[in-house]
Structure 1
Amino acid sequence: MKSSIGKGSNLGLWLLTALVVGNMVGSGIFMLPRSLAQVAGPAGVLSAWLLTGAGVLMLALVFGNLAIRKPELSGGVQMYAKSLFRENSQSSTLAGYIVAWGYWAANVAGNVAILTTFVSYLSTFFPIMTSSANLFTIANYPVKVGSFISFLVCSALLWLTHSLILRGIEETGKMNFVATAAKVIGFLIFICFTLFAFEKSNMLPLIQPRLDSNGVHVGLLGQINNAAVTTLWAFVGIESAIMFSARAKNQKDVKRATVLGLIISVIIYIGITLLVMGSLNQHELVNADKPLVDALMKVVGPSASYVMAGFDLVSLAGTTIGWIFLSAEAPHQAAKQGLFPPVFGKANRKGVPVWALTITNSLSQLFIFSVISNTINNAFNFVMLVATLSYLVPYAVSAIYQLKLVISGETYENGKGRVTDGIIAALGTLYSLWVIKAGTSDMKTFLFGVGMLVVGLILYPFVRKRRDRVSSQQTHVNGVLREQG
């Protein structure tokens, strides 16, 4: 059942597709070429792209199938987690809460990766933002000039975006659409110039040595594992249409937008990555703060790179709007389903979840302090990894729920499509579990992810108590109605 939302907040196919493309093709396209080069050689990078593309396609089809077969489960991936168990049971509530919490925490961290990418490209126009000169010292820790300025810019962009989203749902969708169009124009400019500067020698040899944090040699399979987690960050956002399904004009548009958005994003990602790898040698790529701008600067010169940086900033601004919007929508829908405190469910007269937005951005502000304590590159890599792994839990749960439907036969009365959907769901589940295993091999990342879930479990008893009270009241009302009948 579609939720009650503000006037003018229904999203059509193209606005949903723009949200999917805008959210996926965001900070990843601008920073991933460098991040990938740090963990894998060209062969490892290309193999990871192919495996990730195939895996995410399975997840996209899962999301699309569920949107059509279970249109009543609109409002977020946590609904699929709840439906794995008996309705209104403690297991159902806990599963839905854990997935909603993990997804929200991932968004809070992921927003910082997008904001730091914006700052990195803004430094093209303001080189002082990369200054390593000491500004002042806090607890014997020196704060660099560039880090402090980056912190201020990230904070300003966060709260400016906050004020823009408060203008309304449809206005936010339109702004994201315009920014996505600017993004595509910028990519076309990049492709036109770098296509003719592609040097095959920059990608040779295909298999190159890489070392882990302990200085141990990493083979090709290990490089693919490491790169697979990184490439998945590029496709985080594939669920965007699902998260806004309660605001969709037509549930069929959710599947269409998901698959169409994935196809557009895959073409953009692989094409741009290959062109960057062909324009910069491996040493230049590993040390590039702004891979796309640096590649264009090498090919054309500073003037064209400034134009590219301008388009990139507009694009990243749109991505910021889309992701912060999504970050508030997730706990808002969870609250309306009784899985989050009721304050998150409140919206203003334009349908904007104002309290969810404010609390989400306040927590993102705390994460922004990582910009002061790290370089932009390190801050981006860390929050990207933590956020990506957090997203995998709801992805895996959604695929498992699709498997449950296939096995039970629910929604497959005539049996049509049951085998195909079963294969897709199984592959999507295996892919998600594989990437989780690959990403949690680093103990620091594993413990940080576990820590975020533990914090969520501390708050769960309050959610359960409220839900039990509501259920008790509903049972009482139903009993009175039966007596009157």
Structure 2
Amino acid sequence: MQQNKLGIWLLTALVVGNMVGSGIFMLPRTLAEAANPAGVVLAWLLTGAGVLMTALVFGSLAIRKPELNGGPQIYAKELFPRGSNTSTLSGFMSSWGYWIGNFAGNVAIITTFTSYLSTFFPVLTSKQSLFMIGSLDLKLGNFLTFIVCTLLLWGMHFIILRGIEDAGKLNFVATAAKVLGFFLFIVISLFAFEKSNIGPFTAPRYDETGQAIGLLSQVNNAAVTTLWAFVGIESAIVFASRARKQSDVKRATILGLFIALAIYISISILVMGLLPQEKLIQSEKPLVDAIETILGPSGAYILAGLGLISLLGSTLGWVLLSAEVPYQAAKQGLFMPAFLKENKKGMPKFSLIVSNVLAQIFIFSTISNSMSAAFDFVIYIATLAYLVPYLISSLFQLKLTITGETYELSNKGRVTDGIIAALATIYSIWVIIAGTADLKTFMLGVGLLASGIFFYPQVKRASQEETNTKKLSA
């Protein structure tokens, strides 16, 4: 049935919309803090190359294993003998980590939306104290930010319940507005670019103790941050079962990546040339502050408006993605059976409710942190959660090329696929090592992942019941 299905342009819009979300609006500030201009450019190039390898892996697996749809975490179960406890456990834990990354990612986008909304309503950054609870001094701006974030999250919830095609079309309109807005930003910024703002291309960066950080260490620091900008590359894979043609999934993934990469590199360099480094590092909305230096307040309002439209699309796409992941995993017997519940439109109702309730808990971080601090915290945790299924996908593709599975009829492309999978594996391992160098971040990430163990018995029980049913019917 072609109705209520996603074509190549809606799939590409989901990929671009989910990738080019909060990242491009907030990352220029985060990257300026992590590395000098040379480190930032190197981080983008290395991340772009690594993500391209990962995207090619996703595209190949979508064609070679079309029955395994629902996201990269699904491939974890295929690394081990089918039907074994190890297979079910690895599939569940990978799905669990990927799901955490999804609803944490929602919060990063939603807090960015509020940052840009503060252009029109400065009260959202107000430091006026409302009241104190113990050591917590609740500010007016933080309280209003929490309210706006909550309303946005649940507003998207009810839109998605109306059906996948309507949500996809709305996302397409928002993504089109986003790409147009970025194109205008790039053209205008070219005429006002100040090379002196970038400063020495290899200017030193210092750690908390005042020690100079080497260029390679700066690239490592920026690696997790730049990867966040590409999280969402797998969006078309997650919705593969809702695509009109499986071949569209690979095309949408690659096309979306190149559109996003062109936008990222252009805007990152231009923002560094529009704002002095000190001001950029302190900015809560760097793109708006950058355009304001050229066009004044009116330009800031225009860009902030376009930013809000595009972030609405990103929020819609990510809330949809976070509900789809456990729903598809449950279909594969890798998640709690309750997540299979649908509404009349075929949307994963139960999964959507639980995902958004958990996202709501993360939104509480806006009460005690500034919007930029909340963004930095959430993207670090979410990105590390994504890296596990990315690594697993690469290992699975590597396994197929070694065993020859799916290459029985023709060995064409087998060696090339193997090299691509090996490079994607090395990239994922590098970013995991770079991102977990900080012990506090590592322990928090492990804790979130390990929390899934409490729910695994339900998955194991359902998997055993399904296996027994199949044996009896046979």
**Alignment TM-score, normalising by the size of structure 1:** 0.96
| Contact 2:111/2:375, CA 8 A, preserved across alignment | yes
Which position in structure 2 is the counterpart of 1:74? 69
**CA gap 1:142/1:105 in 2 versus in 1, 3 angstroms:** same
1:102 equivalenced with 2:97 (yes/no): yes
1:224 equivalenced with 2:241 (yes/no): no
CA distance in 1, matches of 2:210, 2:125: 28
| Letter aligned with residue 163 of structure 1 | F
Could you tell me which of 152, 159, 165 is aligned with 1:170? 165
CA deviation string 1:325-352 (max 9, x = no partner): 0000001111111111122111111111
Could you tell me which of 260, 271, 274 is aligned with 1:265? 260
For structure 1, which segment, 202-211 or 236-245, has the greater mean C-alpha deviation from structure 2 after superposition? 202-211
Look up the SS of the partner of 2:284 in the other structure: coil
Could you tell me which of 437, 440, 447 is aligned with 1:441? 437
| Contact 2:337/2:459, CA 8 A, preserved across alignment | no
Q: How far has the Cα of 1:132 moved from its partner?
A: 1.3
| Letter aligned with residue 439 of structure 1 | G
- Superposed counterparts of 1:68-217, under 5 Å: 68-217=63-212
Which position in structure 1 is the counterpart of 2:9? 14
Look up the SS of the partner of 1:236 in the other structure: coil
Which position in structure 2 is the counterpart of 1:468? 464
| Contact 1:166/1:354, CA 8 A, preserved across alignment | yes
CA distance in 2, matches of 1:19, 1:181: 11
For structure 1, which segment, 342-351 or 208-217, has the greater mean C-alpha deviation from structure 2 after superposition? 208-217
Q: How far has the Cα of 1:258 moved from its partner?
A: 0.3
CA distance in 2, matches of 1:214, 1:376: 26
| Letter aligned with residue 467 of structure 1 | S
Look up the SS of the partner of 2:191 in the other structure: helix
| Contact 1:193/1:300, CA 8 A, preserved across alignment | no
Which position in structure 2 is the counterpart of 1:364? 359
| Letter aligned with residue 234 of structure 1 | A
| Letter aligned with residue 429 of structure 2 | L
Look up the SS of the partner of 2:181 in the other structure: helix
CA deviation string 1:80-138 (max 9, x = no partner): 11111111111110111011100001111111100100000000001111111211112
CA distance in 2, matches of 1:147, 1:459: 34
- The unaligned stretches of length 5 or more in structure 1 are 479-485
Taking only aligned residues, the RMSD between alpha carbons, in angstroms, comes to 1.1
Could you tell me which of 239, 242, 245 is aligned with 2:237? 242
Q: How far has the Cα of 1:215 moved from its partner?
A: 4.2
Look up the SS of the partner of 1:132 in the other structure: coil
| Contact 2:111/2:371, CA 8 A, preserved across alignment | yes
| Contact 1:202/1:281, CA 8 A, preserved across alignment | yes
| Letter aligned with residue 231 of structure 2 | V
CA deviation string 1:18-77 (max 9, x = no partner): 000000000000000001001111011000000000000000000001111111212222
CA distance in 2, matches of 1:50, 1:17: 22
For structure 1, which segment, 10-19 or 333-342, has the greater mean C-alpha deviation from structure 2 after superposition? 333-342
Which position in structure 1 is the counterpart of 2:416? 420
CA deviation string 1:292-314 (max 9, x = no partner): 10000011100111011000000
- Superposed counterparts of 1:17-96, under 5 Å: 17-96=12-91
CA deviation string 1:223-271 (max 9, x = no partner): 0001011000000000000000011111100000000000100001101
CA deviation string 1:398-444 (max 9, x = no partner): 00000000000112232211111111000000000000000001111
1:333 equivalenced with 2:328 (yes/no): yes
CA distance in 1, matches of 2:393, 2:373: 31
**CA gap 1:161/1:218 in 2 versus in 1, 3 angstroms:** same
Look up the SS of the partner of 1:235 in the other structure: coil
| Letter aligned with residue 163 of structure 2 | G
Look up the SS of the partner of 1:142 in the other structure: strand
CA distance in 1, matches of 2:209, 2:103: 30
CA distance in 1, matches of 2:24, 2:283: 13
Q: How far has the Cα of 1:214 moved from its partner?
A: 4.7
| Letter aligned with residue 154 of structure 1 | C
Look up the SS of the partner of 1:301 in the other structure: helix
| Contact 1:27/1:117, CA 8 A, preserved across alignment | yes
CA distance in 1, matches of 2:3, 2:244: 11
CA distance in 1, matches of 2:464, 2:224: 39
| Contact 2:198/2:272, CA 8 A, preserved across alignment | yes
Q: How far has the Cα of 1:448 moved from its partner?
A: 0.8
| Contact 2:337/2:462, CA 8 A, preserved across alignment | no
Could you tell me which of 248, 254, 279 is aligned with 1:253? 248
- The unaligned stretches of length 5 or more in structure 2 are none
Which position in structure 1 is the counterpart of 2:404? 409
Matched residues, number = 473
| Letter aligned with residue 438 of structure 2 | D
Question: After the TM superposition, which segments of 4 or more aligned residues of structure 1 sit over 2 Å from their partners?
Answer: 211-217
**Percentage of pairs with the same residue:** 62
| Letter aligned with residue 461 of structure 1 | P
For structure 1, which segment, 256-265 or 126-135, has the greater mean C-alpha deviation from structure 2 after superposition? 126-135
CA distance in 2, matches of 1:327, 1:213: 36
CA distance in 1, matches of 2:6, 2:176: 17
Which position in structure 2 is the counterpart of 1:481? none
